Amino acid sequence: MYLSSEGLKRLKEELEKKKGSRAEIAQKIQEAKALGDLSENAEYQEALATQSFNEGRIIELEEILRQAQVISERTNHKHEAVEISAQVKVESKFGNQQFTIVGSSEADPIKGFISNESPLGRAFIGRKSGQEVEVETPKGKVKYKILDIL
């Protein structure tokens, strides 16, 4: 699992926040228990579901952080080929676009951050400026020409 140092920091902060909310969730469970019959107690069921989700996310975050490999920060030099942390300027039938290749836990395609594990990310990795790649997308096959790698 690849992470930028910024991504690592965000996940550590989220983990601390999730761990910090344990006491509040436990308090809500106790308050809901005091309301009576647990089998038909919506507050109790909701508090248990919140606790389950929170604990699941804590486990997930701890595993991500355990496996994380921090990638080197981008510098002002141009990349020879597309790699994680590179910004890629491309041209396709949708016009010119720019993507940043990131690890899967930092991906946010709407903001232009694509995972190195996504079909588009895998197609770009290792390619150089001027090369073309064809990727199967939900909108059909799309050909991308790599214009620049930053």
Domain stops at, among 70, 98, 119? 70
**pLDDT confidence of 5, banded at 50, 70, 90?**
confident
Residue whose C-alpha is closest to residue 88's, from 116, 67, 62: 116
Domain coverage including residue 59: 2-70
Q: Where residue 29 sits, what CATH number does that domain have?
A: 1.10.287.180
DSSP 39: G
Per DSSP, which regions of 8-115 are E strands?
69-70, 87-92, 95-102, 113-115
More confident residue, 49 or 4: 49
Same domain as 138, residue 108: yes
Percentage of the chain modeled with pLDDT above 90: 70
Instruction: Answer whether residue 80 is part of any domain.
Output: no
- Identify the burial level of 104 via C-beta atoms within 10 angstroms of its C-beta, where 0-12 means exposed, 13-18 middle and 19 or more buried: middle
Q: Bridge-partner residues for 90, per DSSP?
A: 97, 146
In angstroms, rounded to a whole number, what is the distance separating the alpha carbons of residues 95 and 48? 48
Q: Bridge-partner residues for 92, per DSSP?
A: 95
DSSP 77: S
**pLDDT confidence of 18, banded at 50, 70, 90?**
very high
| Tokens read off for 48 | 């248990």
**pLDDT confidence of 39, banded at 50, 70, 90?**
confident
Please tell me the predicted confidence (pLDDT) of residue 128: 96
More confident residue, 139 or 23: 23
Please tell me the predicted confidence (pLDDT) of residue 35: 84
Q: What is the pLDDT of residues 64-123, one digit of tens each?
A: 999 998 887 655 557 789 998 899 999 999 999 999 999 988 999 999 999 999 999 999
**The overall pTM is greater than 0.75:** no
Instruction: Answer whether residue 78 is part of any domain.
Output: no
Total domains present in the chain: 2
Please tell me the predicted confidence (pLDDT) of residue 77: 58
Tell me how far apart the 2 most distant CA atoms of the chain are, in Å.
69
Same domain as 66, residue 13: yes
Q: Where residue 103 sits, what CATH number does that domain have?
A: 3.10.50.30
